Chain A
Amino acid sequence: MIAAREILFNIDPFSAVVLYLLMTLPAGFLAYGLARRVRRWRMGQPEDRSDNLAQRIIYALRMTVLHGRIVRPRNPYGSVMHICIFGGFSTLLVGTTIVMIESDIAVPLFGASFLQGGFYLGFKLAMNLGGLLLLAGIAMALYRRLVLKPATQESSADDLLILAWLAVLVVQGYTLQALRLALTHDPWGAWSFVSYPAALALRGIAAELLGRLHQIAWWSHGVVALALIGYTAYSKLVHPFTAFANVLLRRLKPRGELDAINNIDTAEVIGASNLEHFSWAQLMSVDACMHCGRCLEFCPTFNTGKALRPRDFILSLAGFQADQGGVFSGVLGEGANAGRFKHGRGADRELIGGVVSKHEIWDCTTCGACMEQCPVHIEHVPMIVNLRRNLVTEQNSFPPEAQPIFNSLERLGNPYQSVPMERAAWTKKMDAPVAEMKDVAAKGETVDYLFFVGCVGSFVSRNQKITIALARILQAAGLKFAILGKEESCTGDPARRMGHEFLAQQLAMKTIERMNHYNIRKVVTSCAHCFNAIKNEYPQLGGNYEVIHHSQLIEELINAKKISLGEGAALKQGKVTYHDPCYLGRYNQVFDEPRGILAKLPGADAVEMPRNRAHSFCCGGGGGQAFMKEQGAQRINVTRVKEAIATGAEVVATSCAFCMGMFEDGVGASDAAKKPRVLDLAELVAEALEQNP
């Protein structure tokens, strides 16, 4: 006798007809709900995301099915929880599909049954295990939401209902199985190890009663399952579809590259003031949000109590999109989720002001911590910058402190109202002269590197020391380099991040013209923002260069023994901790080279802050925040400085011009008894050079 079971046991043919008919209703409902969402996405701007399809598919499967971005060492509880829910649910779904294939295709069409014997027994075992896995995941999820209540998580009716619904389905499944085993006295019943003991207890009950109960329970299970399928597209359960689609169709360009507005002079709309001004991919991405709250974990604005909470920002857009989407667009998700309707509800709101507030838009430091954490590759920062672009260009609305910055950038090519002629004033403090490109070109010579100093390094006295330190290192290494001097102008990064795209492109094109004029091939810069702009964004406008950050070049020089180091005075004082600048680390994955420098500095005793590398906590200076007034009582830079002080480090090392300023300001504002010194890596190395004649 081969192990097997009768499919649709105790179910009459008429009921089977009704079941199959009913099955089609939720399928139609699901299709309707998905189509309504797709309809909304199609209203967005065109964007090509069809390149590298094979690579995209493999990556999407790795990230979703194999949980590549869902399982994170820093979040073991959430990782295990989701594996249990996904693993359990998938097992049961695949198992149900196997039964349907057996009963609807294999047997009737081919007369062959495969759900028997050893395969069938393994199937029963897997299904029972799958149910337990799913229940474990649900229990973990409910415990997290109702007991642990992490600050990054909020629960809506939708979140809780889905968990309860799944639990009911599993319990129904086990109970149905127990009833069937009790009625059939299945000789292999023990393989259904959860239901079998219950079936044994039912054997004393009248068979007719059990039979009737089995039929009613079968119907209730079917209706609950079909209702869940139908509900999928109108709830968070849509995320297997939208999350997969978003990961599949994610942006493949460098994270540090904001899309330029092509033909900006003739563009009808600059930035976004309606949902339709976002691209279709951005509109799809807001529907991919699973409300997990990971974007909040390392967000500087959330962690300092500001208005901007990236998850709420995305959910506000999603809620507005749902309002405009028509019937059955996330009805039950509207309830207690404070993020979605903070500023009102309805389809007729203004996007800026009625859906997302100006405070939220201007709070952002563009650090990218949200995008780094998001399991489904939502791109919060480009959407925020898009809103800024509209505010600045079309509405002339921006924080008042931004006006003098824009004016200075436009008139003088720097944000400090400094005279361009003074850009190279720092070179007077050098022992050896620093060449300028116009002089190099006049002699018909070339250089190894253009040293792009940047506005902060040129005009801010504290940062001039970093510039001088780097120039000394390059001279000590025998590298042939030159600067643009007074021909240098802002890269356009601050203007771009602040939403003034016109100005940003103007500045960028001016700089590109100068660099192309001198046929520049290699650029080194000590500012992480200049580094990102020239490397990732200048190609949009015809500027293609090999760009290296000074930390990368210094490490190369040390490894190639072009410079040798003694023990610098600063490091004799004790420990050093390195702060990863967002525009160097998270945006450009430069983590190891700065640490390599510290490892090679004699006497350096490096300690890591808890939030480091890709999880570095922003200094608060990006996104134009270095020039704007920070909202709220808790300051981002002070928060980060506290973290640095807590390591016991006497020196905080950084490698970004803006980070330097923010850290110096934060240390100054700190009330710590022992305040660390803030030094750039170039300063640490230059000091060590001087100790080793």
Chain B
Amino acid sequence: MKVALLLAAGFGLLLLSELGGVPALRIVAVALLLAGTIGGGVKSGLAAAPPALFKSLAARFTLAIARVIAVLLVLPVATALILVVGGAAVHGADSTAGTAAVMTGAVIALALLAILAAAVVVALRALRSAAEDPT
């Protein structure tokens, strides 16, 4: 009950702060929401274990969500980095910032793209090995 009250109060104050134009209430709203979720998390965490079915569902759910995150959520950033490279290629010579600076940007973007791609590959392989683990 207390948790629900904290969450409700927090949500209400948050709406007021953001949509009602009273930003000073934001921190109070966040504090109440956090108190509610953390309190609720601690309370249910200290309680007896939920059924084993939850755990197997959670395992499958976690792996599936993780795969989605690994691919979908990096796409916006990957798109932006590709635009950097494209922008440098198309507009680099005309840029008021200087060709060298723009090309540096393209190099940085390529490096970040490579890191992103490597990270996604590592993540997907890790998730696959976790899913395939015979034990």
Contact = CB atoms under 8 A, between A and B. Distances in A.
A36 B101 CA distance: 52
Interface SS, A side = helix
A319 B50 CA distance: 18
B23 to A, nearest CB: 4
A16 B58 contact: no
A160 B125 contact: yes
Given A108-B23, A204-B91, A174 B112 contact: yes
Given A171-B77, A326-B49, A28 B30 contact: no
A213 B116 contact: no
B93 to A, nearest CB: 11
Contact of A35 (B44, B72, B87, B126): B44
A17 B19 CA distance: 8
Contacts of B23: 107-108
A164 B19 contact: no
Interface in A544-567: none
Interface residues on A, range: 35 or more
B122 A160 contact: yes
A477 interface: no
A20 B36 CA distance: 13
B135 A27 contact: no
B130 A328 contact: no
B87 A203 contact: yes
Contacts of B85: 201
Interface string B68-100: 011011111101110111111011101101100
Nearest to B31: A104
**Most interface-central of A135, A156, A210, A332 (chain B CB within 10 A):** A332
A172 B77 contact: yes
Contacts of B59: 331
Contact of A38 (B46, B63, B109): B46
B69 A227 contact: yes
B55 A326 contact: yes
B34 interface: yes
Interface in B16-64: 17-19, 23-27, 29-30, 33-34, 36-47, 49-50, 54-55, 58-59, 62-63
Contacts of B43: 35
Contact of A27 (B34, B66, B133): B34
B73 A220 contact: yes
A30 B41 contact: yes
Nearest to A37: B45
A31 B42 contact: yes
B122 A179 contact: no
Interface in A158-178: 158-161, 163-165, 167-168, 170-172, 174-176, 178
B119 A168 contact: yes
Contact of B38 (A31, A174, A227): A31
Contact of A160 (B11, B18, B104, B126): B126
B45 A203 contact: no
A198 B108 contact: yes
Contact of B58 (A142, A179, A195, A327): A327
A442 interface: no
Interface stretch (A71-79, A333-341, A408-416): A333-341
Interface of B: 7, 10-11, 14-15, 17-19, 23-27, 29-30, 33-34, 36-47, 49-50, 54-55, 58-59, 62-63, 66, 69-70, 72-77, 79-81, 83-88, 90-92, 94-95, 97-98, 101-102, 104-109, 112, 115-116, 118-120, 122-123, 125-127, 129-130, 133, 135
Interface of A: 13-14, 16-17, 20-21, 23-25, 27-36, 38-39, 104-105, 107-109, 135, 142, 156-161, 163-165, 167-168, 170-172, 174-176, 178-179, 194-205, 209-210, 213, 216-217, 219-221, 223-224, 227, 324-329, 331-332, 334-336, 341, 345
Given A28-B37, A31-B39, A107-B23, 13 more contacts: A31-B41, A32-B41, A34-B42, A108-B23, A160-B126, A175-B77, A202-B83, A202-B87, A205-B83, A223-B69, A328-B55, A332-B62, A332-B127
12 contacts: A27-B38, A31-B38, A31-B45, A32-B45, A39-B47, A109-B27, A164-B126, A220-B77, A331-B58, A332-B66, A335-B130, A336-B130
